[in-house]
Each structure stands twice: as C-alpha cells, then as structure tokens.
Amino acid sequence: MSTTTGRPKRKTSWTAESRAREKVLLARMDAEPAESPAYIAARDELITMHIPLVEHLARRFRDRGEPHDDLVQVGMVGLIKAADRFDTTRGVEFSTYATPTIVGEIKRHFRDRGWSIRVPRRLQEMRQHISRATAELSQQTGHSPTVAELAAHLNITEEEVLEGLESAQAYSTLSLDSTTSSGDDESDSAALTDTLGDDDIALEGVEYRESLKPLLAQLSERERQIIMMRFFKNMTQAQIANEVGVSQMHVSRLLSKALKELRNGLTDDAF
Amino acid sequence: MSGSTVRLELPASSGYLVLARAAAAAMCARLDYPLDRLEDVKLAVDEGCTLLLSDTNPDETITLVLCPNDDGQLEISLTATTRHGKTPKESSFAWTVLSALVDRVSASAHNGRLTISLQASRGNALVGS
C-alpha cells in the first residue's frame, strides 16, 4: 500500500488581474488606519490571496517528515506577519517580501521540533544502509545483529553505526508515517485493520485504559498495532518487524514516535 | 560498582536526552547487545528520563549511571530531585512501557530524590514467531 500524498497540480495563476487587486489592497491598507474595518478587510483579502503561495512553499519541504498541513499552518503565521509588516514604500512585490518570512517560519518549525532542515546526506544514506543490513543479517542469523556485526558487515566503524541509529531516531521524532517517498524500502503491511478489538483485550486490567484508549485511537493503525505488540503483548522489536513486515529499525522509530504522542496526552499520570 | 561504570550528569531538559540515549546505546554496543535490545534500552532510558523530567524542576540535573554487572547485564539508574519526591505509580503508562522494554524496573525515593533502576539483559529472542 503506497499512499503517495496527493500533490495537486495547481498552477499559480498569478494573473495581471490579481496583481492589480493586490496593489489596490496594499494601497488601501496604507491609507486606512490599522484596526479600521476597511484595513482589516483589505488585510484579510491580501492574506487569503496568498494562501496558495504558502501551500507552494510548504510543499518545498515535503518528505521531511512533517505533515503538510502543519507546515501550511506555520507558513500562514509567516504570511500574516508579512502582511502586518509590509511597507509599500519599499517598492518590492508583496510575495517577494512574504516568501522569506514564510520560509523562515517553516524552518523555525523544523528547528523547534529538534530536527535541522537538512539531514546530512551521509547520515540519510547510512540510515538506509544500516536498515538494509539489519534485515539481511537478521535473515541470515535468525537474530537481531549487534552493532559490531553491522559495522563489520558494512565496513564502517561501530561509532558510525551508532551515529546512524541515532539519526534514524532523530528522524523519527518527526515522521514516521510519511516515509513512503523517503527511499525506505519498507513496504507497509496490508492487513492491520482489525486492531481495535484486540486493543480492548490487551488493555484488560490496565487501570488507566480509559485515558489511554482515546490516545491510542489517535495513532495511526500501524503505530497502534506496534504499541500494543511491544508494550502489551511483550513481543520483541524483531518479532514485531517480522510480523508486520517492516524493518526492525522502522519498528523502533515508530515506537519512539508513538510513545511521544502518547506521553503528550498522558501528562502527569505517573505520580 | 565495577570499573566500567559510566556516570553522566545531565541538565533536566529534554534537549539533553539525546546524550542519555547515546551513552546507553554506546554501552549496549560495548556489551555486544543485539540491535533490538539496544533500541529497547535507548527507548527505556528515554522513557525513564522523560518520566523524571515530568516531575523535575528545570534547574535540576538527572544522573544517569550505566553499569554492566557480573552477569553481563546492564544496570541503569536514573536519579533526580523531584517535586513529589515519591515513586511513580506502577499502574502508569510510563511504568508499563519501562516494564516491557527491560527485564526489571524498580523505583525508590529518598529525601526527595527519585531513582529509577532498570536492568536489561542482552536477551536472545529469535526472530520469527
């Protein structure tokens, strides 16, 4: 099941007409006192006109693990800031001015999420090599490989393996369900649909299950399945990988991502 | 404590968890743990630290001790001064997670200091069901 996120093929039809309209709006914003209804109406329209620009810019950051909608949302903050700060006397187009502000907000969002915008290419490749080697070695030996085995197999140092593993983890703090186009050769396993009933059984006797259930429901099918397998059925990561048909590294990433989401919802339940 | 004990003091902030994970991972690699156990231990350290962080003031520190015992198991302790100064509920989600990730979990609280102790063997679960 490869769900490529649909990329609407919309051409920005930035006609002379809309350009003229933009001028009118900017002139009005210049003339009217801020907070006046006329100013606000013009500002709103200017912002609305440029939503496609935000969407366009947000798409430039696709496949980096953040949901498109989130990027659009933070990009909108940038657009609004730009609308409020734009100075018509500068003689630049509004979109020219707004673009860096929007991109700045999106980048900041990535930084805030603890992930720099550019995963060094070397690490990305390393992550994939390790993932592949882990699968191969598990297949051959019947057990999850050690760091030393991986290092020997890949002809790299143990430190590099650890570095690659950690980069996979950092990557996971963002994305995991959006890996479809990131070059992972892990195919989604199809039949993971009938899990809710199972969840109920596995959660029997868990005191906090009423608070846990809605949170589990918010996870993706696969994350929920993996959480249940690992924490309530005590399967190992390798067993889960085998059963679900994804790599063990991917299981590990899904687990840590799903855990983070659950933690956010279950604040202070521990004390 | 044996001669190969590692002790790490971390500011009580989630930004430093990466160091705790890295230290745990490196220790597991030294002990030749298989990858899935290594990832479990990392996740457990992460979970344990996060549990402490949820009850710790930001100017505190978390002490992480990694100590391979004579049986070749890794003993991990996470200690911080917490607001409640008591042990987490064993019925909590975090506890469930920790229990699933490592072989043994325990907690103790003395004078406002909470210690979470984890013990992780290298495991030998075979791939396959």
Q: Which residues of B touch A144 (CB under 8 A)?
A: 34-37, 125, 127
Beta-bridge partners for B67: B75
Cβ pair A239:B127 closer than 8 A: yes
Q: Kindly report, residue by residue over A54-73, the tens digit of the pLDDT.
A: 998 888 887 677 788 888 99
Interface A-B, measured as beta-carbon pairs within 8 A, has a size of: 133
Phi-psi region of A155 (alpha: psi -120 to 50; beta: other; left: phi over 0): left
Ordered domains of chain B (ranges, CATH): 6-120 (3.30.565.10)
Q: What is the pLDDT of residue A213?
A: 77
In this model, does residue A149 exceed pLDDT 90? yes
Q: Which of B26, B29, B84 sits opposite A271 (nearest CB)?
A: B84
> What is residue A137's three-state secondary structure?
helix
Nearest residue of A to residue B16 by CA position? A114
Q: Which of A139, A236, A267 sits opposite B36 (nearest CB)?
A: A236
Cβ pair B37:A144 closer than 8 A: yes
Q: What is the pLDDT of residue A30?
A: 87
Q: What is the pLDDT of residue A10?
A: 44
Q: Kindly report, residue by residue over A168-192, the tens digit of the pLDDT.
A: 665 544 333 333 333 333 333 333 3
Nearest residue of B to residue A157 by CA position? B29
Cβ pair A270:B54 closer than 8 A: yes
Q: Which residues of B touch A237 (CB under 8 A)?
A: 36, 39-40
Q: Which residues of B touch A262 (CB under 8 A)?
A: 93
Nearest residue of B to residue A211 by CA position? B93
Mean pLDDT score, A127-134:
87
Rg, Å, chain A Cα set: 24
User: Which stretches of chain A are assigned E, i.e. beta strand?
Assistant: none
Residues of B with CB under 8 A from a CB of A: 15, 18, 21-22, 25-26, 28-29, 32-40, 42-43, 46-47, 50-51, 54-55, 82, 84, 86, 88-89, 91-97, 100, 123-129
Mean pLDDT of chain A: 76
Mean pLDDT score, A139-149:
89
Rg, Å, chain B Cα set: 14
Q: Which of A148, A170, A207 sits opposite B91 (nearest CB)?
A: A207
0.85 surpassed by complex ipTM: no
Q: What is the pLDDT of residue B8?
A: 97
> How far is the alpha carbon of B19 from chain A, nearest alpha carbon, in Å?
10
Instruction: Give all strands of the β-sheet with B74-81 in edge-to-edge order.
Output: B6-11, B61-68, B74-81, B113-120, B104-110
Residue A13 CA, distance from chain mean position:
29
CA–CA distance, A239 with A257 (Å, rounded to integer): 19
> What is residue B61's three-state secondary structure?
strand
Mean pLDDT score, A258-262:
84
> How far is the alpha carbon of A240 from chain B, nearest alpha carbon, in Å?
9
Handedness of CA B21, B23, B25, B27 (dihedral sign): negative
Per residue of chain B (129 residues), give pLDDT as tens: 557 899 999 999 988 888 999 999 999 999 999 998 999 999 999 999 999 998 999 899 999 999 999 888 999 999 999 998 999 988 788 888 899 899 999 999 999 999 999 999 987 544 333
